[in-house]
Amino acid sequence: MRAVAVGALLVLALDTDPARRGLQALEAGNYREAAEALEQAVAADPNDFASQFNLAYARTMLGERERAIAAYRKVLELKPGLYQAQLNLGILLLEAEQAAEALPLLKAAAAHQPDKFEPQYHLARALDAVADDAGAEEHFRKAAALDPKSALARIGLGRALANQLKFDEALAFYREAAGLDPEFRIYLIELAARLEEKGHAERAIALYRECPPAPEVDERLGNLLLESGKVAEALPHLEAAVKASPTPANQFLLAVAYLKSRRLEEAAVLLKAASQARPDDLRLRLTYGRTLRDLKNYSAAAGEFLAATRLAPDSREAWSELAGMLVLLDNRPEALRALHRLEALEPGNAAVHFFRAMLLDKDKQYEPALASYEKFLAMSAGSYPEEEFKARQRVRAIRKELNRR
């Protein structure tokens, strides 16, 4: 929002031809012509602050922000404390993300015209930009009171309150803004995101439900509902998010919802697409591998888990999943190698020794199998009763076999 107060200074333009031509061009909206004429005017008389001001205005309207800033600085050198120049220069500096420099100018403008909306509003913006939330709140309140129809002032006030975690009061102003202009309902999304960020999941869910339809609303609402265990409610939002924006992140969230709903085939399709888009994502690889395993596609699952171990050579999770698949596939040499790596990463894992014993037992390597069974039994200490029963049975059988030799 820009306010450029020109009229008070135009009447002061000198009667020289360049100044007059510049003024006439400004009034006609011919800003390039105006700038050229006013450059001549200030070159002829560097102390002509009215022409400097009008030149700054022309540069602003041409989108030449840096040149406009320089011209307004010159105006304030010639006429310190000039309200219109302070306000306009402050606004331009805000647009240039130089809020700290804009702040004293806008404070002076607001002090000069305390009952005008624009200096209060833009001072509040500058205070917000330098993270003075209480100061921003004060001046957004003043701006909102000065213009009861300003949705922008109410959104600014709502943000300043939200930054201070005053969410109930902030929501009231966001809703006021939406009441003044329905297009401002879109800003409810940012307040819902702040609530989510601060851990107010249920309040964020309720507010997202009020927001106008948008892919980001479906994504965030679907994710929150999923995290809250409301899978059936989450599904339509996550499906809409994937339809609008099939990113790997959205595909993953929908896949998780499908997995929780036991819709494994649909989850697998999404996870495959997401993994192909992000082949270096360990979480995707592991989740896709587990889904393939649950679909009993053990060979493909093993391939995903192998890829996961290459992505993260020190991941105990990846090596454990790979070893489990290789055992199921009865790929004994590779399974033994995977178990050896897992033991190095997790020396206290008793299950490693049980599976190694089973593989060696199948290969009739009875002595190392017996040692592994015994190590498993010593480490498990009742943690795996079913496997411990099997291990004791095999220990007795192997000892008998070895005694016969």
pLDDT in tens, 138-188: 999 999 999 999 999 999 999 999 999 999 999 999 999 999 999 999 999
Cβ-in-10-Å burial (0-12, 13-18, 19+) of 103 comes to buried
> Quick check: 190 pLDDT over 60?
yes
Residue 260 lies in a domain: no
Residues 6+ apart with CB under 8 A from 226: 234, 238, 253, 256, 257, 260
Among 212, 239, 255, the domain boundary falls at 212
Q: How far apart are CA 242 and CA 248, in angstroms?
A: 9
Q: Looking at the 3D structure of the chain, how many domains does it have?
A: 2
Compute the C-alpha angle 276/281/286, nearest 5°.
90
Among 163, 181, 212, the domain boundary falls at 212
Give residue 17's domain range. 1-96
Among 39, 66, 96, the domain boundary falls at 96
pLDDT tens-digit map of 39-72: 999 999 999 999 999 999 999 999 999 999 999 9
Strands (E) across 51-134 are located at none
Helices (H) and strands (E) in the chain, counts: 24, 0
> Quick check: 2 pLDDT over 60?
no
Which pLDDT does position 9 carry in this prediction? 53
Which pLDDT does position 238 carry in this prediction? 97
pLDDT tens-digit map of 304-328: 999 999 999 999 999 999 999 999 9
Q: Looking at residue 2, what DSSP letter applies?
A: -
Q: How far apart are CA 141 and CA 147, in angstroms?
A: 10
Whole-model pTM: value is 0.76
Q: Are residues 117 and 204 in the same domain?
A: yes
Q: Are residues 4 and 36 in the same domain?
A: yes
Q: Are residues 134 and 193 in the same domain?
A: yes
Per the structure block, which two tokens stand in for 174?
């966001």
106-112: list long-range contacts, CB under 8 Å, 24+ apart: 108/81, 109/83, 110/139, 112/81, 112/83, 112/86
SS (H, E, C) 215-255: HHHHHHHHHHHHHCCCHHHHHHHHHHHHHHCCCHHHHHHHH
Residue 88 lies in a domain: yes
Residue 175 lies in a domain: yes
pLDDT tens-digit map of 100-134: 999 999 999 999 999 999 999 999 999 999 999 99
Q: Are residues 121 and 187 in the same domain?
A: yes
Residue 177 lies in a domain: yes
pLDDT tens-digit map of 261-314: 999 999 999 999 999 999 999 999 999 999 999 999 999 999 999 999 999 999
pLDDT tens-digit map of 206-221: 999 999 999 999 999 9
